[in-house]
A and B are shown apart, each in its own frame.
Chain A
Amino acid sequence: MDKLLRNLMIGLLALVILTPLGLLASGTAFGEWGTDEIKDKLGFVPQGVEKLSSLWNAPLPDYSVPGIDPNIGYIIAAVLGVVICGGVMYLAGKKYIRD
């Protein structure tokens, strides 16, 4: 395999292993609060948010795997992300990009 590609993949793998560093920050990004957090902040949950919040239930909310240590779960989520994002892009690229 191309040496550059191999090195980039090693770099990405290192990032995946380091992702639990991203868990050190405990707060939520601005505007991305869950309904419980909004309730703590305001004392009520805006109606629209209340309605839409039940629209979709993610299988692995907040990048955690039920019953598994959060750090390991976060790495598993990162691996899944890499495999699925990389896989989808690779297959789509192979199918639609021709020389």
Chain B
Amino acid sequence: MIPIWIYAGKKLSTLGSRKVPFLALAAAFAFVIMMFNLPVPGGSTGHAVGGAIIGIVLGPWAAVITISVALALQALMFGDGGITTYATNCFNMAVLIPFIGYYAYNFISGKTEITSSRRVIAAAIAGWVSLTAAATWAGFILGLQFILYKDANGLPLYMPYPLSVTVPAMFLEHAFAFSFLEALVTGLIFAYLQRTDPSLFYGEKSESKKSKTKKAAPV
């Protein structure tokens, strides 16, 4: 994760000072949205991450940093997620989710206008796909831990369940529950920002720059 953080930090510094308050809001938002635990049948719980919408609005590299900050505070202060699992958690939630979300959104949006309603659908689907994919990967990693780490008696050192349990568990509970919340959150915030200030989105030219180029053009 360390090279990813370094590169993301470099990319972040080119984002423009206008985005600074939005970065702060994004980190705070990621922290809060992960506190909304949803129950699923079987006694387990889970949550949305907000990674797709942050990736779409501020760009996936900025999302890497903001979500990593939220995960660090969770682990250090609230004993959630964990210290030894921090890098893996960051890879899943701060890298996979925003990148998959961002590219899924762009793929579905195609060449439509930034104000197109198709982009709201694209954002919602990107939310669902990104969380489901990242959770399934997390399930794979958990199952891998079962295979790789056993004590002298053959008992599991860490994860007590094999891949055949971990992957379906993580995939199913996200695909049929938590990812729908992620899709809803992503779609709603996207629709709001799209109506309010579409120039905010990553890759869009800001209004001020646009008006400057208009002024410069001969009438």
Which residues from chain A sit less than 8 Å from chain B, CB to CB?
2, 4-5, 7-9, 12, 15-16, 18-19, 21-32, 38, 41-42, 44, 46-49, 52, 55-63, 74, 77-78, 80-90, 93-94, 96-99
Contact = CB atoms under 8 A, between A and B. Distances in A.
A31 B84 contact: no
A62 B43 CA distance: 17
B77 A46 contact: no
Contact of A49 (B28, B32, B75, B158): B158
B162 interface: no
B83 A56 contact: yes
Given A81-B73, A89-B69, A5 B21 contact: yes
B12 A27 contact: no
A81 B155 CA distance: 38
Interface in B48-105: 65-66, 69-70, 73-84
Given A4-B197, A52-B84, A98-B17, A25 B149 contact: no
Interface string B3-35: 000000100111111011111111111111101
A15 B138 CA distance: 27
B182 interface: no
Contact of A47 (B16, B24, B35, B155): B155
Nearest to B38: A25
Contacts, number: 184
24 contacts: A5-B22, A12-B25, A18-B36, A19-B35, A24-B37, A24-B39, A27-B45, A29-B46, A29-B47, A30-B173, A56-B83, A60-B77, A62-B80, A63-B78, A63-B80, A81-B70, A81-B74, A82-B28, A86-B24, A86-B25, A86-B27, A88-B69, A97-B17, A97-B20
Interface residues of B, number: 67
B210 to A, nearest CB: 16
B19 A93 contact: yes
Contacts of B196: 4, 7
B77 A58 contact: yes
Contact of A77 (B26, B35, B38, B160): B35
B151 interface: yes
B77 A99 contact: no
